[in-house]
Structure 1
């Protein structure tokens, strides 16, 4: 009962914490814009937890999973913190689910040393997923983690890839090329040049083309079925790669690769825009009413998730393109002063939208400050409005990481002070 009460208290705190934000940037155009703040980006800490993230309980394992979980203790703990309790749904896109996916691949890669295979038998797949969820939940992760991250048996099983035997795979792929391409990747350069990703894809194509099942695979045909097989084989190659690296470093490599894909899309769900198009469509007759509808609309997006700065760029661009299709030709982002940070979850008062960096960043935990994370408090980059040719390049000012690389003593933030005041009201 005490655990449930503490969970409810934290959930209520989180809701209040999220609703404190004001939307001062989306104001009438007659008001003066906010002054530029030259201060460096400060780390933002989530509210201190009202219960510890560890030692929540003992995991109840099925005893039917062949994985050796001691091989991945470090990455399992990292995952539990990244996917901590009530925050997991809000951290899913930028932090939690990419780390969970990397951890599963690492566990499978490490287990291949004794099993000789990079996949779990279908009969044991669900048992292994259950055990992983139980271990993470015992360390404080969300109890619905597999559902939140859409993890299925295919994520630990062979799926459609025809080869999962380690020796057979190593006879097919070019081991030196993969190791050289992926052992020391630069996450920023990797997303542009795709050195490691190309090596992974090349290996996956070779494996997918091994016709061991007797079915006909047309090598020259880029069919949906063949692409699905290649995608499944990419997972197998990544599990193999994870077995060749230290688990902690393997997590960084796998998340560095996944961040390239994550940052290319907008993870938000766009509600109906009819109220916005009504007030902002064609020639805007009432800018105050238009900006009011923009404010209401973006507020709905803010309730969904923390996102990265590049995801925010894609979200803003996609929404603008949809509005243009509905005859909103005027740049309402400019008129209503919409920033990239307005598309992510708001975590404080006034000018404090929280955008995560485009490079992977973990949630942190210590006994004093509790669960915390960093984001860019001063990211006042304007939301992009597509030009007439339908293109708007991502601004080069978007940081890959927060300028403040670590918590700095002596720095004070009214946001952090406000957070502590809210917490004190509940304790």
Structure 2
């Protein structure tokens, strides 16, 4: 137990030494946080923090790469999947799911990439095996080997639990078709490939060109060639089969595309799903209702209760700007149902960035929201692991109408925060004109490390 506490203490010491460097570039100001083992840095406050690239320093306990110190994983030798075909994706996944920070990037970056890598791995391996699923025994062996490879490259050792990935996820589940020959004899392969070979990451979520093609293919292989559910009742068992068959369709797609293209398609489809919901766990709202319900007697105590409530949300994870809009709408509906009729978001000046994990810049705290189309984390031997987020999403939290379910990005009147461009941001770091070091503390990470 003492060894465990000591290890976390080392991570805490390493994490606390963070700097923010702002760069004044032609296209805007961008910055970088790098992990350094410095004794103390005096904070320099900033009134208007700009979009930045938080760089998460690697834990002292984890190797930078398997080649950095000869830490090559010992695999079971029982998994026949072609790991070399997706080697680049495995490295991307390890970076996206880096050690202590994986839980905080899980919903948006880490787990979607982990899932995409597994789908592509099975798809690419089906070129030799002709099978789009593994049996349960083989699944356990292969998932264990994947985990060993990822952790050897710096990924969190609890990745399966963080992402709720089980060996059964690599099987066919209830889908009746698992061979590529059977699949292609039932499905219109050319139509499916045309729709999904390359998706529009901005418009796919609204137009659902690829998603509809996947659904049609899944229905065909689940329902013995039927292409539509209209005109007849479908049992719960059949709906479950269709859902399981979507995984088979995705694996087949991954077998027909090169791994980077397959990964791009899978991540794009995942973004459509994650931006439709709020990933945060909303605590009990009783205290807020007591102070803000019906007629608000004291605005100060109401807003204080709201501030305390929101601070609990800020301890959970990094989320996208669209997810933040959905979380605000979801919480607003819960409060309305509990007789909080006044727009307390407006009353208490709650913005969508108040729902995200907070970064302390100097003496100020700022919400760090990821763009709605989040990019992968990146690794650099000098700066560490970094990802793009924005401190400037000063969008007022939406007080929902009673009929709201979630914020749809397909509604052209919805005001969404600007999406930082990963490529220009990263290039900007190499053309900075000046730097101002600022002390940064990710409050929720510190709390986790102290537990």
The TM-score, its normalising length taken from structure 1, stands at 0.86
Residue in 2 that maps onto 1:64: 78
Task: Give SS of 1:191's match.
Answer: helix
* Structure 1 or 2: more strand by fraction: 2
Q: How does 1:376-395 map to 2 (within 5 A)?
A: 376-387=390-401, 390=404, 395=414
Is 1:280 aligned to residue 280 of structure 2?
Answer: no
Structure 2: stretches of 5+ with no match in the other structure: 19-45, 444-451
The answer to whether the 8 A contact 1:53-1:81 is kept is no
Matches within 5 A, 1:302-341: 302-341=314-353
Offset of residue 270 of structure 1: 0.7
Q: 1:120 to 1:219 in 2, by over 3 A?
A: farther
Q: Which moved more, 1:53-62 or 1:172-181?
A: 53-62
Q: Does 1:399 align with 2:411?
A: no
Alignment of 1:345-424 (within 5 A): 345-349=357-361, 350-387=364-401, 390=404, 395-402=414-421, 405-407=424-426, 408=428, 409-410=431-432, 417-419=438-440
Structure 1 pair 54/151, CA: closer, same or farther in 2 (3 Å)? same
State the Cα RMSD in Å.
Answer: 2.8
| Partner Cα distance (1:219, 1:65) in 2 | 44
Match of 1:329, SS state, is coil
Structure 1: how far apart are the matches of 2:215 and 2:313? 35
**Aligned length in residues:** 397
> Contact between 1:109 and 1:239, CA under 8 Å: does it hold in 2?
yes
Aligned to 1:289: 301
Normalising by structure 2, we get a TM-score of 0.82
Task: Verify the 8 A CA contact 1:6 1:50 in the aligned structure 2.
Answer: no
CA–CA distance in structure 2, aligned partners of residues 92 and 326 of structure 1: 31
- Kept after mapping to 1: 8 A contact 2:59/2:99: no
Aligned pair 1:168/2:220, yes or no?
no
Residue number among 188, 204, 208 corresponding to 1:190 in the alignment: 204
Closer, same or farther: CA 138–390 of 1 in aligned 2, 3 Å = closer
Q: Distance in 2 between matches of 1:180 and 1:363?
A: 30
Q: Is the 8 Å Cα contact of residues 340 and 381 (structure 1) preserved in structure 2?
A: yes
Q: Does 1:233 align with 2:255?
A: no
1:54 is displaced (CA, Å) by 1.9
Map 1:5-44; keep pairs closer than 5 Å: 8-11=9-12, 14=15, 41-44=50-53
Q: Secondary structure, in 3 states, of the residue corresponding to 1:417?
A: strand
